[in-house]
Chain A
Amino acid sequence: MTTDSLAKLTQAVEAASSSEALLTAVEAVAAVKAPEAVTLLVAALGYNNPGVAVAAVDGLIAIGEPAVEPLLVLLDDVNYGARAWAIRALAGIGDPRGLSVLLTAAKDDFALSVRRAAARGLGTIVWEAMPPESRSSAQLDCLTVLLAAAKGDPEWVVRYAAVSGLQNLGRSLCLTQPHQRLDLKIQLQDLAAQEATPAVQARLWFALESL
């Protein structure tokens, strides 16, 4: 990636005069998949344009680790939409620095799509990137929040996402704390017995098959 071509892409974003042109320009930036594009993509989360934000989130997830710090800074933004998209990007990246944000979002966020993404993200934290001595208490935090969401979130899709998060987390637990796997299976069986939405119940069965 040369400075020159990044400048061209920046120019295209700034010059975009329609929604479609902006989307095309941001997609081009997202395709760069290099840390140089982070600033532009993070800015695009605040344009109040869902199509553009989706493209930017995908681009940021592809970039991964170098995007984490700027995303955490963006969380102080007052723009609610930008915050929500940043949380979704952090959920996709799985960096442990985003963990506390994801735990809070999965529990309390106003928007179901953010709780949904956070719940999924809690299952795909890259644990190897966290110091070993902190891991087991952090995993327990994830487990607690995900079980609460799977049991009590009023939206089916958040419960569904929490079950998918639990399945992935369960796989990590299998490696580090095998005794917790059995506990988790029992909890999932209880949830399956109580769940009223067939799609979520099926997702619980699916998770049980794989644990």
Chain B
Amino acid sequence: MQSQWVRFQWVRFNGCNCSGCRLSMNEENGLLLSHGQAEFASEPAPEQPLTIEQAIANLSGPDYGSRYYAAWWLGRFRVRSPEAVAALIATLNDESDRTPDGGYPLRRNSARALAKLGDPQAVPALLTCLSCTDYYVRETAAQALGILGDQSCIEPLAALLAGGLAAAQPIPGSPHLAQPYDAVLEALGALGAIAKRPLIEPFLEHPTELVQYAAARALYQLTQDEGYGDRLIAALSGEKLQLRRAALADLGAIGYLKAAEPISLTLAENSLKLIALKGVLEHHLTAIAGSIERGQLTDEARQVMELMDGLL
């Protein structure tokens, strides 16, 4: 537990946002990971030092570390009780826990947890978070809204793309762009915001690769046009490991079957390739569920599993 806590603090204070960590977070364990440790560290399912009551009480307790941990814990263990959801929503207004540069770490973590709990009651408070001064709160809120699936969020999310590419240029000296464009684009794709296609399209030309990928991912989800998926396949052979990892995550998220073999051949950690292939396999299984008897498989599914077997 000790070493996990150290790593957990590391991520917290460094605000690690690398795609490896993002990927791992989807796998439940990312918060306990430090940057680039995806291959080995992950998990284990931590001991459970908290009860549900304690975790909820800790959320409004005096110790910032305990509050932050409680927010993560409630998400990790999918505590969907009305009390837990209400307590997490309340922390989205927290003013006390601030980083040196004015960020709201507890709000960020609570938004992540609320995404995992999947309760639509969190939507209004998360929409408010889209105008928070903390970029990372806006980012986690946008991610959460994409997951919660409420169509009424499309307009407020699209509003963050205002000004298009011109407003989205890198800001000298800033570690991030004006808005969390990649998170917003991904959320619009997940929400099926087909009407926003003209707004999304220009971001394919954004100077930041991660934003280009997010646009391609969203556009593929909106149109099923292979051209967009193929852009992400091309990104698997990029120079930088971090970008290859991001492309793996995106292809797993859209479940692009054609990418299965290129994913298996990508120069990246097997654990991340397996997660991406799981996404492809499960997307395919959902697509065939109606046309095939339960317990039956297609050749495509078998092929993806053979690729996965080779990476274990």
Asked if residues A205 and B309 are in contact (CB atoms below 8 Å), the reply is: no
Asked if residues A157 and B271 are in contact (CB atoms below 8 Å), the reply is: yes
Asked if residues B42 and A112 are in contact (CB atoms below 8 Å), the reply is: yes
Asked if residues B44 and A202 are in contact (CB atoms below 8 Å), the reply is: no
Interface string of B122-146 (1 = CB under 8 A from A): 0000000000000000000000000
Contact of A84 among B40, B43, B285, B296 (CB under 8 A): B40
CA distance in complex: A120, B274 (Å): 14
Contact residues of A between 7 and 31, Cβ < 8 Å to B: none
Contact of A205 among B42, B271, B296 (CB under 8 A): B296
Answer yes or no: A139 CB below 8 A from chain B CBs.
no
Inter-chain contacts of B39 with A (CB < 8 A)? 50, 113
Inter-chain contacts of A205 with B (CB < 8 A)? 295-297
A155-B43, A160-B308, A164-B309 as given contacts; A113 in contact with B271, CB under 8 Å: yes
Answer yes or no: A117 CB below 8 A from chain B CBs.
yes
Answer yes or no: A60 CB below 8 A from chain B CBs.
no
CA distance in complex: A164, B307 (Å): 12
Answer yes or no: A171 CB below 8 A from chain B CBs.
no
A154-B44, A199-B278, A202-B281 as given contacts; A116 in contact with B301, CB under 8 Å: no
Asked if residues B295 and A113 are in contact (CB atoms below 8 Å), the reply is: no
Contact of A81 among B40, B271, B305, B312 (CB under 8 A): B40
CA distance in complex: A110, B278 (Å): 22
Answer yes or no: B45 CB below 8 A from chain A CBs.
yes
CA distance in complex: A119, B309 (Å): 11
A156-B278, A164-B309, A206-B305 as given contacts; A198 in contact with B43, CB under 8 Å: no
Asked if residues A154 and B285 are in contact (CB atoms below 8 Å), the reply is: no
Answer yes or no: B270 CB below 8 A from chain A CBs.
yes
Asked if residues A111 and B312 are in contact (CB atoms below 8 Å), the reply is: no
Q: Which residue of chain A has the shortest Cβ distance to B279 in the bound complex? A: A199
Asked if residues A154 and B295 are in contact (CB atoms below 8 Å), the reply is: no
Contact residues of B between 257 and 298, Cβ < 8 Å to A: 269-271, 274-275, 278, 281-282, 285-286, 295-297
Q: Which residue of chain A has the shortest Cβ distance to B277 in the bound complex? A: A199
CA distance in complex: A114, B39 (Å): 10
Inter-chain contacts of A206 with B (CB < 8 A)? 297, 301-302, 305
Answer yes or no: B86 CB below 8 A from chain A CBs.
no
Inter-chain contacts of B282 with A (CB < 8 A)? 198-199
Answer yes or no: B41 CB below 8 A from chain A CBs.
yes
Task: Count contacts on B: residues with CB < 8 A to the other chain.
Answer: 26
CA distance in complex: A1, B301 (Å): 43
Contact of B42 among A111, A117, A120, A198 (CB under 8 A): A111
Interface string of A182-211 (1 = CB under 8 A from B): 000000000010000011001101101100
Answer yes or no: A173 CB below 8 A from chain B CBs.
no
Inter-chain contacts of B302 with A (CB < 8 A)? 206
Contact of B40 among A111, A154, A156, A164 (CB under 8 A): A111
Min CB–CB distance B107 → chain A (angstroms)? 29
CA distance in complex: A81, B45 (Å): 19
Asked if residues A202 and B312 are in contact (CB atoms below 8 Å), the reply is: no
Answer yes or no: A61 CB below 8 A from chain B CBs.
no
A81-B40, A111-B42, A202-B301 as given contacts; A192 in contact with B271, CB under 8 Å: no
CA distance in complex: A39, B302 (Å): 39
Inter-chain contacts of B286 with A (CB < 8 A)? 198
Asked if residues A113 and B42 are in contact (CB atoms below 8 Å), the reply is: yes
Asked if residues B308 and A112 are in contact (CB atoms below 8 Å), the reply is: no
A202-B305, A205-B295, A209-B297 as given contacts; A111 in contact with B41, CB under 8 Å: yes
Answer yes or no: A150 CB below 8 A from chain B CBs.
no
CA distance in complex: A203, B307 (Å): 12
Inter-chain contacts of B295 with A (CB < 8 A)? 192, 205, 208
Asked if residues A157 and B297 are in contact (CB atoms below 8 Å), the reply is: no
Can you list 8 contacts pairing A with B, beta carbon distance less than 8 Å?
A50-B39, A50-B40, A84-B40, A110-B44, A113-B39, A164-B312, A198-B281, A198-B282
Residue numbers of A with Cβ under 8 A of B are 50, 81, 84, 110-114, 116-117, 119-120, 154-157, 160-161, 164, 192, 198-199, 202-203, 205-206, 208-209
The 5 A-B pairs of least Cβ separation, nearest first, read A120-B312, A154-B45, A161-B312, A199-B278, A198-B282
